[in-house]
Structure 1
Amino acid sequence: MTHASRKLPATFAALLLAATLPACSMLPKQAPAATYQLPLQQPAQTRSGVHGPRADGPILVIHSPASNRVLDSDRVIIAQPDGRLAAWQGLRWADTAPVLLRDRLAEAFIQDGRLTVHVDSAAPAAELDLLGALRAFQVEQRGTAPVVAIRLDAQLAERDRAGAGVSRRFEVVHAAASKRETDVIAAFGAASDALAAQVVDWVLEQPTASATGSDARARHADLPSPAAAESSHSTR
């Protein structure tokens, strides 16, 4: 084999590589995903002017609801009629669905003004915890137009009474104006506002939420400490 013939494989490989480079550069680049915040449909002044803030109102801690792995992401989820879940290509939320809904609930309570609100905080002085499980935060096809469905199993728990509390399921379905992504995102905002308003009304209907913070703290102070209870028991 001559020196020239030994160079042929290397030369051929170089030519092949050079020929493929332009083809690679012509492949379409994936467009960056559009990132959306959850639209706020209801102006802040709509509810905030109805009730004056109560500085002595109970302190409520709003926790991010639990969810499955699909919902606990920044993808816009589409629920297919056959039960399959898919992600809307090219669309993302600014945060995960549980965090988006938690923040919308907090915003609704702040606008209402009757409770002091903390988010995902230990807040040792708090009297109430709003917990929940997010069951749906998705686009569904019902009839000819897409709708947004949000389902939340909410629980209002009292910190000074172990095991005490109430629970309720909330479900809102809001039709999108069209299949365009902007209309679907707007429907998510409207559905979230409607659900948050229902949760606020439900919480404030509870006796524990209507009591003043000083009343709640007084009830808590009246409860005997474990040490005092044990001492009282031993003297009998």
Structure 2
Amino acid sequence: MRLKSLLLSALLAGVLAGCGSLGGSTPPPIYDLSAPRDFPGLTGRTSAQLLVPPPKAVRALDTQSIAIKPDVSVITYFGDGQWSDTLPKLIQARLVESFENSGRVRAVGRPGEGLLIHYQVVVDVRSFQLELTGGKRAVVEVAVKLLHDRNGRVVAQKIFHAEAPSPSDRVADAVAAMDSAFDAVLTEIVTWVVRKV
């Protein structure tokens, strides 16, 4: 009985100590990206159904950490913020959402959703960071291949690049600038794909 009481006391003390440590530090803010709703100049519709696989990225960008480049050959991260998911998954989610927002495609989805697919929108993330050389600016660059799902033929490919100035190198300003550049890239991708298929 005494042993059981001691074990219970030790367990309770451990739980209380754990609870105390939870309030010790504030977790970093979590940032999200948005998807465009307006697509100026985009007319017509396509009956194609699209698949958006998870984008590829180098390990430095395949993370929840928000990248900053203080120099051309150096990548580091903001210590006071992170993305709401790994960057490739976040880009995939917002690209799917952008196609849906356009109302110009018959259907769009991710792997495993059971859609009959006509084309894959294959994305390679090349840049997604705040750069400090030559002025503070967000740089977003992705390479996109439009792949025929039945025969694997590349129908078209293009590199999309956008930049947006940031008023400072604080994480909130950097994220706002990245979101602005990303919005421009997503708008261009959706317009390009709809016109190609």
TM normalised by structure 2 equals 0.78
Aligned to 1:36: 31
CA distance, structure 2, for counterparts of residue 148 and residue 164 of structure 1: 30
Supply the RMSD in Å over aligned alpha carbons. 2.3
CA distance, structure 2, for counterparts of residue 81 and residue 180 of structure 1: 16
1:85-111 deviation per Cα after TM superposition (whole angstroms, max 9, x unaligned): 111112111001111111221121111
Verify the 8 A CA contact 1:39 1:188 in the aligned structure 2: no
Q: What amino acid is aligned across from residue 131 of structure 1 in structure 2?
A: V
1:136-193 deviation per Cα after TM superposition (whole angstroms, max 9, x unaligned): 111101334x211111111110112333422111111111133332221111211111
CA distance, structure 1, for counterparts of residue 194 and residue 26 of structure 2: 46
CA distance, structure 2, for counterparts of residue 132 and residue 36 of structure 1: 22
Match among 26, 49, 53 for residue 59 of structure 1: 49
Consecutive unaligned residues of structure 1, counting only runs of 5 or more, are 1-28, 210-236
Consecutive unaligned residues of structure 2, counting only runs of 5 or more, are 1-23
Aligned length: 172
Aligned to 1:96: 86
CA distance, structure 1, for counterparts of residue 95 and residue 173 of structure 2: 22
Which structure has greater strand proportion?
2
Which has the higher Rg, Structure 1 or Structure 2? 1
Q: What amino acid is aligned across from residue 129 of structure 1 in structure 2?
A: Q
CA distance, structure 1, for counterparts of residue 66 and residue 140 of structure 2: 12
* 1:143 equivalent in alignment to 2:134: yes
CA distance, structure 1, for counterparts of residue 152 and residue 173 of structure 2: 44
**Once the two structures are aligned, what percentage of the paired residues are identical?**
24
* 1:120 equivalent in alignment to 2:120: no
Q: What amino acid is aligned across from residue 151 of structure 1 in structure 2?
A: E
TM normalised by structure 1 equals 0.66
**Which secondary structure does the structure 2 equivalent of 1:177 belong to?**
coil
Verify the 8 A CA contact 2:78 2:171 in the aligned structure 1: no
Alpha-carbon spacing, 1:132–1:39, altered in 2? closer, same or farther (3 Å): closer
